[in-house]
């Protein structure tokens, strides 16, 4: 069996350390931009209330922060991963969001179950299954795949209209 080789990564900051003020300010701005894209755009695309998404992501973030004892400064927002399934559920229910909401709750319960399983057996299997060499390109492909839609929706292409309810992931 081939042994997985990992290298030591020299982190700039450890978990207990805080960045200098200016660097922390820039990292905070980065979080705001990342948060805005998902937490505001996903509900707008799906025709759902943005306020609910903001409230739910705030509660989720607080639960996460307490669970990690405030060691990992992360904002948890909406995800583009389920747009297609939620849009399909909405279209099948003639615009009624109850099927999509039920799906979100069920997926949330699956996430809680997985979190408990991972807590019990550890993360080594995840690191072997999805090493950084796999995760990095996967994230880049997702971002590049959405870039075309982002440019069109931002109105940077002449003749393209900024229609927030349009997405290449949704059926026409």
Task: Quick: pLDDT tens for 133-148.
Answer: 888 898 888 878 777 7
Q: Count of residues for the chain?
A: 172
Phi/psi-derived region of residue 6, left when phi > 0, alpha when psi is between -120 and 50, beta in every other case: beta
Task: Quick: pLDDT tens for 7-51.
Answer: 566 777 777 788 899 998 998 888 788 777 778 888 888 888 889
72 with 15: CB under 8 angstroms? Answer: yes
Task: Quick: pLDDT tens for 75-123.
Answer: 888 877 788 888 888 888 888 888 888 888 898 899 899 989 999 999 8
Reduced to 3 states, what is the DSSP secondary structure of residue 155? coil
| Torsion from C-alpha of 76, 77, 78, 80, nearest 10 degrees | -80
- Domain locations in the chain as residue ranges: 27-154
What pLDDT score does 6 carry? 57
Which tokens go with 23?
């660097």
């Amino acid at each position: 069996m081939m042994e997985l080789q990992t290298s030591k990564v020299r982190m700039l900051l450890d978990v207990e350390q805080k960045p200098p003020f200016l660097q922390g300010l820039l990292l905070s701005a980065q979080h705001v931009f990342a948060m805005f894209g998902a937490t505001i755009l996903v509900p707008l695309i799906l025709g759902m209330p943005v306020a609910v998404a903001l409230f739910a992501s705030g509660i989720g973030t607080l639960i996460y922060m307490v669970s990690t004892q405030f060691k990992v400064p992360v904002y948890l927002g909406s995800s583009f991963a389920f747009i297609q399934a939620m849009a399909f559920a909405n279209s099948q229910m003639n615009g009624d969001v109850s099927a999509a909401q039920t799906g979100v709750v069920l997926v949330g319960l699956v996430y809680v179950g997985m979190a408990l399983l991972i807590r019990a057996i550890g993360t080594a299997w995840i690191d072997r299954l999805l090493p950084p060499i796999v995760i990095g390109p996967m994230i880049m492909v997702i971002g590049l795949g959405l870039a075309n839609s982002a440019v069109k929706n931002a109105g940077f292409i002449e003749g393209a209209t900024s229609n927030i309810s349009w997405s290449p992931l949704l059926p026409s």
